[in-house]
Structure 1
Amino acid sequence: MPSNKSLLVLPGDGIGPEVMREVRRVVDWMDRRRRVTFDVKEGLVGGAALDAAGHPCPDKTVEAALAADAVLFGSVGGPKWDSLPFDRRPELGILRLRKDLGLFANLRPAQVWDPLVDASSLKPDLVRGLDIMIVRESTGGIYFGEPRGIGTRPDGVRHGFDTEDYGEDEITRVARVAFDLARKRRNKLTSVEKANVMQSGRFWREVVTNVGKAEFPDVELSHMYADNCAMQLASRPKQFDVILASNLFGDLLSDLAAAVTGSLGMLPSATLGAELPGGRRHALYEPIHGSAPDIAGKGIANPSAQILSFAMLLRYSFGMEEDARLVESAVERVLGGGLRTADIMAPGAARVGTSTLGEAIIRELDKLAA
């Protein structure tokens, strides 16, 4: 029996605790049925942390995250905290974790599962078999650049300003992650920026090109303006394999790619840090969907993205490829059997709630592991 793998679970707000409960059932199943044991601790983040500790990401949470082998994150935010000052908003919890853990590479797969082809807003032939990985830089760029703020110009006009700022080292390290992923997939990388109008975009293109020539000459590299990439994702998405983008453009494009797949409720993500001595790296896994306060507490949220985030955790933090595929197969088989939550409902399917879909996934895991 391998040594225990330590997980920090941060359910957060809204539907976070509901979908996280279904993941805990999968973790418990793996403890019983697979050759692995998890040491799970739970912490506070977002609005729940604000209410209990007065901060969206208390020091205690950061310390626990640094000590864990991996962090499984739910969602944060909701109308209860909308009136708070910017520096106390729940969403700052995830930003602090990314920054303090050095989580610079956000991996967002956009995959269309065969049973959900008709859930996409695009024609089935455009999305059937779609499998894209978007790599988003997540600790730099305009979300963190300085100076930033709201002020008054010399002419007395108030203005808001943010700074897009990237160092060569920041671009290089996330480019290496994207190139490495492309090498393991279909050997094709599309780097996205606005080199036609932004100096930071010109620099991004230069650095990515240099990394490709020096370290990954076997990977096919192309460059695309962000606006064109958005149009191509909505018209010919299967041309892409791995897409590399800055924090801002990666945020926008990954949500567009999510919409192409049919539902945010199906899409997981991973955010990885640099490799530490011994091969370990800090990592956080979360669904792309938000806290969905309008359906929180109703038991109708789709737990699939949270469960698939756990599958990514198995793959990228622990190298447990077989177990990751087992979880993914169980989810796909449940969907293929016609069970649906409201967000992916289809004619002829059976509409079920959060816990019922979670139970069905556990049953499929039992069958697959028999």
Structure 2
Amino acid sequence: MTDLLLLPGDGIGPEVTAQVRRVANRLANDLTIDERPFGGTSFDQLGTPLADETLTQAKAAKAVLMGAVGGPQWANAPRDKRPEAGLLGLRAGMGVFANLRPAICFQPLAGASTLKREVIEGLDLMIVRELTGGVYFGKPRGIEDLPGGGRRGVDTQVYTTAEIERIARVAFELARGRKNKVHSAEKSNVMETGLLWRQVVTDLHSREYADVELEHILADNAAMQLVKNPKQFDVMVTDNLFGDILSDEAAQLTGSLGMLPSAALGAPGTPGLYEPIHGSAPDIAGQGIANPLAAILSFEMALRWSLGRADLADKLYAAVGKALEKGARTPDLGGQLTTIEMADAVLTEL
């Protein structure tokens, strides 16, 4: 069995994923690591963004770590052949429904945020995003011609009790190991799915998690509060669309999207999917200046959640912190280090 399957993907994905391999070889050289094309690169090579063999191998691995997908060169590909379709297919095929997106402000980077230091310093927030339901997967969907001219686009937001309960359960369990507080974000004031979401979360809380503090918040207010007072939050659970937006906002609070990892988890015993949330960044691809820390910290999450090596995860997290304390910075953080040099700084601390 492969321990770690790497899917470098597109843009800066191969650059940052290569640094993950270097760190893994230094920190845990007993891991078996394999690699497969994915996203636009896979489309160019194999005619599909997610080959059947890749999905089969992903489901058989202990953990999967991807770089990023997408780029302007695939903008005109059929929708089902675009890199993003491969990512959605991978998530659905692996059954990873719980996306964990931490937003942590490392002490040396408190001044890198666009927010005032006193607002951001000490931030440690976990957004739990439902990943395989909602408007990204709902049917019907599509664009149709109207009889009188013009066109109509349709996307359908759909959630079931079971889908909401399982993601809320993840959030409540995480909160018990943190500060014991969950904010549930939705739009129950204008959306039927939001109303169902609030009802199901409330019912689950009263039945099984009354010891955890629960606060409901409208998603638009959550967006405002993340900028106004982000440290009021500990765990925030929300749906696929709002989670996509709110987690990117929370990530930028820390100073750079290049710092934030993520994990996507499914049922116990199934492999997790790990990825930096910065995207393929085609504007800097090939320049060797991408920040590899989000990918390296995604590997840290893989060690902790899927590979059973929390001891090594602790060492890696500490090494990243020490490298930053000593001034290691890529251009996105106001420094001059290359992608390789930033990884070198972490390897030095290991």
| TM-score, normalisation: structure 2 | 0.98
Establish whether residue 321 from structure 1 lines up as the match of residue 310 from structure 2. Answer: yes
Hey, what's the Cα distance between the residues in 2 that align with 1:80 and 1:158? 26
1:353 to 321, 338, 346: 338
Separation of aligned partners in 1, 2:245 and 2:341:
32
Mapping of 1:232-243 within 5 angstroms? 232-243=225-236
Residue 165 of structure 2, aligned match among 159, 172, 191: 172
**Range with greater deviation from structure 2 (151-160 or 240-249):** 151-160
Residue aligning to 2:327: 338
> Take 1:99 and 1:166, find their aligned partners in 2: how far apart are those partners?
15
Q: Does 1:363 find its partner at 2:327?
A: no
User: Does residue 3 of structure 2 align to residue 18 of structure 1?
Assistant: no
Are 1:45 and 2:30 counterparts?
no
Please tell me the residue identity of whatever aligns with 1:291.
Answer: S
Q: Which runs of structure 1 show a deviation greater than 3 angstroms over 4 or more consecutive aligned residues?
A: 152-157
User: What does residue 178 of structure 2 align with?
Assistant: 185
Letter in 1 for 2:284: I
- SS of the residue corresponding to residue 223 of structure 1 reads strand
Aligned-residue offset at 1:259: 1.1
Residue 66 (structure 1) aligned with residue 55 (structure 2): no
Aligned-partner residue type, residue 320 of structure 1: R
Output the CA distance in 1 between the equivalents of 2:16 and 2:342.
Answer: 10
Maintained 8 Å contact 1:102/1:282: no
CA deviation string 1:187-216 (max 9, x = no partner):
000000000000100000000111111111
User: Which amino acid letter does the alignment assign opposite residue 238 of structure 2?
Assistant: A
Counterpart-to-counterpart distance in 1, 2:147 and 2:186: 32
Is contact 2:100-2:263 (8 Å) kept?
Answer: yes
TM-score with structure 1 setting the length: 0.93
Q: 1:256 aligned to 249, 252, 258, which one?
A: 249
Alignment of 1:206-245 (within 5 A): 206-245=199-238
| Partner SS state of residue 28, structure 2 | helix
Partner amino acid, structure 2, of 1:189: V
The aligned amino acid for 2:21 is R
Tell me the CA shift for residue 30 of structure 1: 1.9
Letter in 2 for 1:195: S
What letter corresponds to residue 18 of structure 1 in structure 2? Answer: E
Structure 1 residue 103 corresponds to structure 2 residue 101: no
* Secondary structure, aligned partner of 1:133: strand
- Specify whether residues 83 and 154 from structure 1 end up closer, same or farther in structure 2 by C-alpha distance, changes over 3 A only: closer
How far off is 1:125 after superposition?
A: 0.3
The one-letter code of the counterpart of 1:266 is M
Say whether 1:90 aligns with 2:87: no
SS of residue matched to 2:332: helix
Secondary structure of the residue aligned to 1:233 is: helix
Q: Tell me how far apart the structure 2 counterparts of residues 342 and 141 of structure 1 sit (CA, whole Å).
A: 36
Cα displacement (A) at 1:100 = 0.6
Q: Counterpart in 2 of 1:307?
A: 296
Q: Compute the displacement of 1:317 (Å).
A: 0.8
Question: What secondary structure does 1:9 align onto?
Answer: strand
Identity of aligned residues (%): 55
User: 8 Å contact 1:70–1:313 — kept in the other structure?
Assistant: yes
Residues 9-68 of structure 1: CA distance to partner in whole angstroms, max 9, x if unpaired?
100111111111111111111235xxxx21111011101100110000010100000110
User: Does structure 1 conserve the Cα–Cα contact (< 8 Å) formed by 2:107 and 2:121?
Assistant: yes
Q: Distance in 1 between matches of 2:328 and 2:319?
A: 12
User: 1:368 maps to which residue?
Assistant: none
2:250 maps to amino acid: A
Shift of the alpha carbon at 1:153? 4.3
C-alpha distance in structure 2 between counterparts of 1:353 and 1:193, whole Å: 40
**Residue 156 (structure 1) shift:** 4.5
Paired residues in the alignment total: 350
Flag the 1:154–1:210 CA change in 2: closer, same or farther, 3 A.
Answer: farther
Per-residue Cα deviation, 1:196-245 (whole angstroms, up to 9, x for no partner): 00010000000011111111111000100000000000110000000000
C-alpha deviation, 1:155, in angstroms: 5.1
Instruction: Give the structure 2 partner of residue 284 of structure 1.
Output: 273
Cα distance in 2 for residues equivalent to 1:153 and 1:165 = 24
AA partner of residue 194 (structure 1): K
Q: Is the 8 A contact 2:3 2:307 kept in 1?
A: no
Kept in 1: contact 2:60–2:271 (CA 8 A): no
Displacement of 1:157? 4.2
**Superposed CA offset, 1:309-349 (max 9, x none):** 0000011113322211111111111111112100011xxxx
